[in-house]
A and B are shown apart, each in its own frame.
Chain A
Amino acid sequence: AQSVTQLDSHVSVSEGTPVLLRCNYSSSYSPSLFWYVQHPNKGLQLLLKYTSAATLVKGINGFEAEFKKSETSFHLTKPSAHMSDAAEYFCVVTGGDTGFQKLVFGTGTRLLVSP
């Protein structure tokens, strides 16, 4: 079965410093992978997605993620954090034996950004 592991439940950074949110996945097939963001009291918004094209995926708001098959990882990065990036981030896998329409969510990483 597909699964994702988000390695950190909380990440704290200072404004202007790099962001790294880690995600490892497990899949028997070539997966599609997503990162979603949820700001307080808001719905989930798609940040970026990987669907077997380029391994380095650029998303909205300066975020990007790199698909590394050998490491089964899909870490989310941003060169310089902004206060507005404070939110909860979810790594998501789909495809393969769960079917392409069914998403499997990680448990989330809360990003805290201090001035």
Chain B
Amino acid sequence: DVKVTQSSRYLVKRTGEKVFLECVQDMDHENMFWYRQDPGLGLRLIYFSYDVKMKEKGDIPEGYSVSREKKERFSLILESASTNQTSMYLCASSRAGEQYFGPGTRLTVT
């Protein structure tokens, strides 16, 4: 069965902290994605990666970076968290168009 896991379901951080969100997939997929989900805005793509060490900016990359050192793991990094980054973060992986999503991490920045 397809599985995408995210390191935390809920996270509370302070403004200015460096935050790491981890995502792991067990399907040997080449492509991985990070989205944020906000009410009334749907899902917006932050970054994606189509291979190890390869990454591309999505629609809203400002304030974020990513790391993909191994095929199964894709990390989202908030270099200096701000309150406007309070959101639900969803990770996904894919091989041939269809994306499989993790359960999400609800991040609150205070």
Chain A residues within CB distance 8 Å of chain B: 9, 32, 34, 36, 42-46, 49, 51, 90, 94-95, 100-103, 105-108
Contacts and interface: CB of A to CB of B under 8 A. Distances in A.
Contacts of A102: 45, 48, 58
A108 B104 CA distance: 17
Contacts of A45: 101
Interface in B37-65: 40-45, 48, 50, 58
Given A44-B43, A90-B43, A95-B97, 18 more contacts: A34-B98, A36-B101, A43-B102, A44-B90, A46-B98, A49-B97, A51-B97, A90-B42, A101-B50, A101-B97, A102-B45, A102-B58, A103-B43, A103-B45, A103-B99, A105-B35, A107-B41, A108-B40
22 contacts: A9-B40, A34-B98, A36-B101, A43-B90, A43-B101, A46-B99, A49-B97, A95-B97, A100-B97, A101-B31, A101-B48, A101-B94, A101-B97, A102-B58, A103-B33, A103-B43, A103-B45, A105-B44, A106-B42, A107-B40, A107-B41, A107-B42
A49 B97 CA distance: 10
Contacts of A44: 43, 90, 92, 101
B103 A42 contact: yes
Contacts of B48: 101-102
Interface of B: 4, 31, 33, 35, 40-45, 48, 50, 58, 90, 92, 94, 97-104
B85 to A, nearest CB: 19
Contacts of A49: 97-98
